Chain A
Amino acid sequence: MAKTGEKKLGKIKGFSIQFLPYSEIRDLDSNERIRKILGIVLGNNILFLQGKLKAEEEARLIGDTMAMIGHVKDFKGIELAVIGGNGERGIIDRMRGEIIKVLSKGDLGAMTIIGPATIVKEIKRNPRKIELLLSK
């Protein structure tokens, strides 16, 4: 029991963090990628995906999750953030990045975080840091 004056810690609902290497989605088409990601997120997992989705896939992911709200119990959408991969770099670094991207069929310099909105309250970001705020 919390003593008077002591800060009460909120109850954090059960969740787990799952890391997905890019190799797991590299050869999947857009439908399969989104299905795989949603499967993980709907299982109350916060997903750390190596690399990033194509812009069209990100938009599709948002659209698909919107269609699920009201149809999947307690689902309120997702929190999504892509870190790195498109920062300010010099020409040489950019070229090197592009070559790696072509060879690996993806932007491995990036990291995508996706979590269910019932667990991840907010992903706050600025150029220097990223904060994952969880729902109590």
Chain B
Amino acid sequence: MEIKIFKNFFKKIFVSLFKNKREIKLGFYGPPNAGKTSLANRICKDFTGQEIGTVSKVPHETRNVQFKEKVEIKYKGKTLMFKMIDTPGIATKIDYEDFLKYNMKKKDAKERAKEATQGVIESIKWLDDMDVVVIVLDATENPYNQVNITIIGNLIARKIPLLIVGNKIDLKKADIKKIESAFPEYDVVGVSAKNGENFEEFYESVFKLSKHI
């Protein structure tokens, strides 16, 4: 018992001493095609000059967890170091026939579906390793989706701070208020990963979120 108390005490001192020097593991979670990779790409490009992964209109383009280490984000004179973790979109169903609509060959569609199912499993496994999570939602879609609720529930259960981002605000159909009313207990920021709209507010929220670790 005493050993545990001492351990926790020194752990707290260690964390507070090196809090600003260590990498904060920032995960991007959400349903497929919400723009997780587009958002991560924009941040990585802004601060490292390199992108994290490829984007596509075909769902489940990201089928493996992708990283970018030592991403130093500077905002209003403050600097934080992040490890960016872009995860495959979480879905409850995957049908290879859906990919055929994108002029994909049957064999390729089947392979993509197989990899996508593995990607979902990988995303779920990685939940335990995150320090903070940005949930990326497509602001033109209905936010009352069980996948979103399940991801949030799992982050709460693991006491991982989260921020909800409504992406694609450059589109007419985007409705940030709908996301806010669906998740009134959380910070919701509307952005456009495509054209960089409202990133100031996004970075401010990420910095605020990182204080809760």
Which residues on A are within 8 Å of B, measured CB to CB?
Answer: 54-56, 58-60, 62-63, 65-67, 69-70, 76-82, 88, 117, 123-127
Contacts and interface: CB of A to CB of B under 8 A. Distances in A.
B92 A79 contact: yes
Contact of B113 (A56, A67, A70, A78): A70
Given A59-B127, A62-B90, A77-B95, 9 more contacts: A58-B146, A58-B154, A63-B125, A65-B93, A70-B114, A77-B94, A80-B92, A80-B150, A125-B144
A21 to B, nearest CB: 21
A50 B114 CA distance: 33
A65 B127 contact: no
Nearest to B143: A126
B92 A59 contact: no
A76 B120 CA distance: 14
A50 to B, nearest CB: 17
Interface in B148-183: 149-150, 153-154, 156-157, 181
Interface residues of B, number: 27
Interface in B63-105: 90-95
A67 B121 CA distance: 8
A108 B185 CA distance: 22
B144 A117 contact: no
A8 B144 CA distance: 31
Contacts of A63: 120-121, 124-125
A66 B121 contact: yes
B41 interface: no
Contact of A79 (B93, B127, B150, B157): B93
Contact of B124 (A62, A70, A117, A123): A62
The residue in B93, B120, B121, B127 that gathers the most chain A C-beta atoms within 10 A of its C-beta is B93
A18 to B, nearest CB: 19
Contacts of B92: 62, 65, 77-80, 117
Contacts of A62: 90, 92, 120, 124, 147, 150
Given A77-B93, A80-B146, A117-B92, A56 B154 contact: yes
B56 interface: no
Contacts of B154: 55-56, 58-59
The residue in B125, B127, B146, B156 that gathers the most chain A C-beta atoms within 10 A of its C-beta is B146
A82 B149 CA distance: 9
Given A55-B153, A69-B94, A77-B91, A123 B146 contact: yes
Nearest to B110: A70
Contacts of A66: 94, 117-118, 120-121
